Chains A and B, each alone.
Chain A
Amino acid sequence: MIRFDNVGKRYGGGPEVLRDVSFELPEGSLTFLTGPSGAGKTTLLKLISLAERPTRGTIAMFGHDLSATPRSELPALRRRIGCVFQDFRLLDHLTAYENVALPLRIIGKPENAWRNDVEEIVAWVGLGERMHARPPTLSGGEKQRVAIARAVVSRPPLLIADEPTGSVDPEMGARLMRLFIELNKLGTSVLIATHDRGLIEAADARELRLFAGRINQAAGARWT
C-alpha cells in the first residue's frame, strides 16, 4: 500500500529530519510509529498524508510513484487517506456533524446522500447527543473522536493518526484505541504515531521505530 525507498527530508537549508528511510506498510496492517520527540514521526506522517514532498528518495502510494504524480491528482490520493492530528484541526465555526461531513461535502454530493452515514459514524464514536455542538464547547476527548469520525467517514483505505491519545485520559485513550482496532478489523490500514507504551503493548500490532530521522537499526530495522 505504501512504500518508502531511501527517503530523505529537510526543511529549507536545515539538517535532514529524515534520512534514508525505507519501509513498507502492507494493506490491512495495524502499525505503531514510535520514537522520541524530534525523531521525525510528524514529518513522516506529513509525507504519508501528502502535506510535504520528500527531498530525496521515492514514495509509492496506492500504486502511484509520488515523484511522477502530477499535482492535479494529489487531491484524489488525499481522499484515500484519513488523517487524525494531535491538535484535531477541527473548524470551530462548524458543528461536530458538519466537521465530520467535510470529506463527503467536498466531493460535491448533496447532503441527503450522506446524512445518514455521517449521523451513524458520529453515533459510533459516541457523540450522537453532541452532534450539533461546536468544537469550542467539546472536551479534548470529544474533539479527538470528532477528528477520528471525520477521518474515517469516507471509508478511506488508510488511516494515520498523530498522538491520538496524547490529550485524553487513559480510559479515553483505551476507548479510542478500541475504535482503531475495530476499524482495522473492518479492513482499514492504520498507522498510529505514539509515545504511549501501554497503548502499544495492549495491542497486538507491529512497530516502526524512528530515531534521529532514521529507522532505528539497533532496535531492528524491522517490524517488531
Chain B
Amino acid sequence: MDVNPQSRPARTTPLFPRGGGGEGALFGVMAIMSFLACLTLALALGAARLAHAWEQGLSGQATVQIVESDAVPMEAQIEGALGILSNAPGIASARRLTATESSDLLRPWLGDVDLAAVPVPVLIAVTLDPVVALDAVKLREDLSRAAPGATFDDHSRWNEGLTAASSTIGWGAYAILALIALAAAASVVFAVRAALNAHRDVVDVLHMTGARPGFIASQVQGRFFLLGGEAGLAGLGGALLFVVIIALIGSADALFLPALSPGWSDIVWFLLVPLSAAIIAMLTARFAVGRFLADTN
C-alpha cells in the first residue's frame, strides 16, 4: 500500500473550524458578564456577611433603661432591676453604665453639656446567654413590679429591620446574577446560530453522512464550553484586578459599608463564575444546535 504516514497530523482536527460566527464578540460579551457576575457575587456575599455581623452584634446584647418613677426611688429601681436581671435565666451578665459612659452615648446628640441637671435615664447593659433562652415577657413583668420606670429593649426591632435590609440586598444580587446568566445564554444562542450558518457546509456534510443531532451538538458544545470558560477566566481576572485596586487605594470603606466591600475570601467563590460560564455556554450551545437542526431539516 502506498501510504505516507510521515505527515499524519498529531491529533484529530475539530469538525467545526475555529472562527466565524462572531465568536470573538461572544468572548468579549461573556468576559464582561463574568466580570459583572463576580462583582455581583461579591455584593451577595457581602450582604450575607453584613446580615450575620448585625445579627451577632445586636442579638447578643440587650438594654434596660430606667427613668424616674413616683412609686419607687431611682436607686431602689436600679437595685431591684439588677437583682432580677442577675437571677433571670437567659441573662449572662448585667452592668449599670457609669455616668461617664451615659454622657459619652448622649454627646453626639447633645454636645458637651453638663448632664447633672438633666434627668438622664439610667442604662443597664445586659449580655444575653447564648445557650439559655430568655423569657422576655416574664422578665418585663418582673421588672415592672420592681422598677416601674424600667423598659427592657432586646434590640429585636432593629435587628429585624437590618436583617431584612441585608437580605433584600442579597436576594437582589442573586436576581442580578440570574439575569446575567440569562443574558449570557441568549448571547450564546445567537453565536451558535451564527457559527452554524457560517459553517453550513460542515452541517450539511455531517447531516448527509448520517450524523445524529446529538453528535453534531457534541462537536459544537465542547468548543463553546472552552470559550465560556476562557471568557469566564478573563472576567474573573478583571474582577480580581478590581478588588486589588480597591484594596490598594484603600477606598473600600469609603465606597461601601466595610462588610459589603469585596474580601479576599470571596475569591474562592469567584472561581465558580468561569465554571458556570463554561457550563452555561455548553448547555445553551447544545440546546441551540438542537433547535437549529430541527428548524433547518
Range of interface residues on A (Cβ < 8 Å): 20 to 34
Bound-state Cα–Cα, A202 to B148, Å: 122
Binds A, one of B33-41, B199-207, B255-263: B199-207
Binds B, one of A93-101, A176-184, A210-218: A93-101
Bound-state Cα–Cα, A50 to B116, Å: 101
Give the interface centre of A77, A95, A132 by most chain B CB atoms within 10 Å.
A132
Smallest CB–CB gap between B213 and chain A, Å? Answer: 8
Asked, given contacts A91-B201, A102-B205, A106-B211, whether A123 binds B8 with beta carbons under 8 Å apart, the answer is: no
Is A117 among interface residues, defined by CB-CB distance under 8 A? no
CB-based contact B201/A103 at 8 Å: no
Is B212 among interface residues, defined by CB-CB distance under 8 A? yes
Kindly identify, within residues 1 to 17 of chain B, every residue whose CB is under 8 Å from any CB belonging to chain A: 1-5, 7-9, 12-13, 15, 17
CB-based contact B12/A131 at 8 Å: no
Bound-state Cα–Cα, A43 to B41, Å: 57
B212 contact set on A, CB distance < 8 A: 75, 106
CB-based contact A106/B9 at 8 Å: no
A80 contact set on B, CB distance < 8 A: 210
Asked, given contacts A128-B4, A132-B4, whether A106 binds B209 with beta carbons under 8 Å apart, the answer is: yes
Is B269 among interface residues, defined by CB-CB distance under 8 A? no
Asked, given contacts A103-B209, A106-B210, whether A71 binds B297 with beta carbons under 8 Å apart, the answer is: yes
Is B208 among interface residues, defined by CB-CB distance under 8 A? yes
For B, the interface residue count at a CB cutoff of 8 angstroms equals 25
Kindly identify, within residues 177 to 230 of chain B, every residue whose CB is under 8 Å from any CB belonging to chain A: 201-202, 204-212, 215
Smallest CB–CB gap between A187 and chain B, Å? Answer: 20
CB-based contact A98/B7 at 8 Å: no
Smallest CB–CB gap between A153 and chain B, Å? Answer: 10
Give the interface centre of B1, B2, B206, B210 by most chain A CB atoms within 10 Å.
B210
Asked, given contacts A120-B1, A132-B7, whether A106 binds B206 with beta carbons under 8 Å apart, the answer is: yes
Kindly identify, within residues 119 to 139 of chain A, every residue whose CB is under 8 Å from any CB belonging to chain B: 119-120, 122-123, 128-129, 131-132
Smallest CB–CB gap between B152 and chain A, Å? Answer: 72
In the complex, which of the residues B1, B13, B15, B206 contacts A128, with contact meaning CB atoms closer than 8 Å?
B1
| Cβ-closest chain A residue relative to B293 | A71
CB-based contact B210/A94 at 8 Å: no
CB-based contact B208/A91 at 8 Å: no
B202 contact set on A, CB distance < 8 A: 91
A89 contact set on B, CB distance < 8 A: 201, 204-205, 208
Is A33 among interface residues, defined by CB-CB distance under 8 A? no
| Cβ-closest chain B residue relative to A150 | B209
Asked, given contacts A83-B208, A102-B209, whether A108 binds B215 with beta carbons under 8 Å apart, the answer is: yes
| Cβ-closest chain A residue relative to B215 | A106
Bound-state Cα–Cα, A30 to B262, Å: 75
CB-based contact B215/A93 at 8 Å: no
B297 contact set on A, CB distance < 8 A: 71
Smallest CB–CB gap between A101 and chain B, Å? Answer: 9
B208 contact set on A, CB distance < 8 A: 49, 51, 78, 83, 89
Bound-state Cα–Cα, A219 to B297, Å: 36
Kindly identify, within residues 130 to 164 of chain A, every residue whose CB is under 8 Å from any CB belonging to chain B: 131-132, 150
CB-based contact A76/B2 at 8 Å: no
| Cβ-closest chain B residue relative to A81 | B210
B207 contact set on A, CB distance < 8 A: 78
Bound-state Cα–Cα, A105 to B201, Å: 17
Bound-state Cα–Cα, A128 to B2, Å: 5
Smallest CB–CB gap between B71 and chain A, Å? Answer: 89
Smallest CB–CB gap between A124 and chain B, Å? Answer: 9
| Cβ-closest chain B residue relative to A123 | B1
A123 contact set on B, CB distance < 8 A: 1-3
A89-B201, A131-B8 are known; give 5 further A-B pairs, CB within 8 A. Answer: A49-B208, A89-B205, A89-B208, A91-B202, A108-B215
Q: List 23 A-B contacts (CB under 8 A).
A: A49-B208, A77-B210, A79-B209, A89-B201, A89-B204, A91-B15, A91-B202, A93-B17, A94-B15, A98-B9, A98-B13, A105-B12, A105-B15, A106-B210, A106-B215, A119-B5, A123-B1, A128-B2, A128-B3, A128-B4, A129-B2, A129-B4, A150-B209
Nearest first, the 6 A-B pairs at minimum CB distance are A79-B210, A128-B2, A78-B210, A106-B211, A93-B17, A132-B7
